[in-house]
Structure 1
């Protein structure tokens, strides 16, 4: 599984544009309400980690997925699971926290 930084995500999305990449946020609802991103070139999809197995059929295997969470741990687990299920997935290392500290300090940290 590939890990990319938040700063690398826009280039990854641009390279995948023809395949309509997805940013899969696996945090809980309250976390998304606290801090969220919706970068250009990616469709934002929110599925808390525990709901992924039951909602697997909502994801399209033809579309590349970038997984995001708070610090990168949950998204790494989800990315590994999705890879085993036949999806093309990368993990956004450092999660939304890294996004705030590296790219956009207006995004709250928690």
Structure 2
């Protein structure tokens, strides 16, 4: 099962996920043009950006032992990537519900909405 984590609850999820020893990270699966439009500022977490369609070919770049929270625009693509990662044996995976749009509304209004 994929955890659904709101942007507001992400710090608590990251803290609980790091209890296992491996440092969690946020995986932004949006396209480069979307990243130029709006991006989150890492605050207590590592941010890795790999577009959704590149994930299978770049899977070896990701550590399956590290907890990962996936992020996209509204939460649909990141949910699919989270399910894929879980199927590939990633230990702990979450979807950031509502994506960067919810991030702007709930956590950081300086992030542009698009």
Normalising to structure 1: TM-score of the pair?
0.95
Q: Are 2:80 and 1:77 aligned?
A: yes
1:40 deviates by 2.1
The SS at the match of 1:23 is strand
Supply the distance in 1 between the matched residues of 2:107 and 2:63 (Cα, whole angstroms).
Answer: 29
Where does 1:1-110 land on structure 2 (aligned, <5 Å)? 1-17=2-18, 18-87=21-90, 88-110=92-114
Segments of 5+ residues of structure 2 without an aligned counterpart are: none
Supply the distance in 2 between the matched residues of 1:104 and 1:22 (Cα, whole angstroms).
Answer: 18
Segments of 5+ residues of structure 1 without an aligned counterpart are: none
Normalising to structure 2: TM-score of the pair?
0.92
1:105 deviates by 1.0
Supply the distance in 2 between the matched residues of 1:6 and 1:86 (Cα, whole angstroms).
Answer: 24
Spell out, residue by residue over 1:43-76, the C-alpha distance to the aligned partner (whole angstroms, 9 max, x if none).
Answer: 1100000000000000001100000000000000
Q: CA RMSD in A?
A: 1.0
